[in-house]
Amino acid sequence: MSSRRPRIRRALVGALAALTLAGAVTACAPEPDAVPPAPTDAASGTPSPTVTPVAIAEFPFGPSTSTTPLPKDCESILAPGILDTLQGIPLNAPGMGGGIRPDSSRVCVWADPGASRTSLVTVVGYSPEREARDALYLLGVDEGYTCYEPDEGLRCEKSGTDELGLPVGRTVYWRDGVAIDTQYSNLAPQGYTAAIVRSIWG
């Protein structure tokens, strides 16, 4: 009897040691909820593309004496045919600089934020006569613009190409205290400024 008890004790001790070892191995495995989730786009740290406003040349917009109301929006000043040529090009996309300025000028920016060399920008707003005439005179004398007097107004324009050979230019039209200043790069619908003039003055 006494010789069997040591064997039973040794067997119990061995079984307990095996259970303890198994418990220790099981404790090393993470529980299902502790496994980190797969990274999402928001957590990946991928930077968002930056949007750069289109550069707009200066012109003396401000309070002036005029009997002409400004257009209510950008689409209403264009003929249907010209609007058709601009289909698919965003108008006043966020961050591109379009909208209404504090001086009430309307800024219409036709440009895709992902196409930095293609844009059509028009600013329509009040411009005092003396300052506007002086600015137009300087465009003609100092910057080589061609200036003439169509449709009871003053118009100065200049066109060329950029370093990649893309068409660029600017047209400024002034009449009755209102200026229409259009600058374009690789996007110049035929008859654009004339269509705006007809829309505003008939």
Its domain, for residue 156, covers: 75-201
Total length of the chain: 202
CATH number of the domain bearing residue 141: 3.40.1000
What's the whole-number mean pLDDT along residues 137-157? Answer: 97
**Phi, psi dihedral angles at 120 (to 5 degrees):** -140, 115
pTM confidence score? 0.75
Residue 15 forms part of a structural domain? no
Digit-coded pLDDT (tens) for 76-112: 999 999 999 999 999 999 999 999 999 999 999 999 9
Indicate the helix (H) or strand (E) that contains 121.
strand 119-126
CA angle 164, 141, 153 (to 5 degrees): 95
Q: What is the DSSP letter of 70?
A: P
Residue 64 forms part of a structural domain? no
Residue 67 forms part of a structural domain? no
Q: Round to whole Å and give the CA distance between 43 and 181.
A: 44
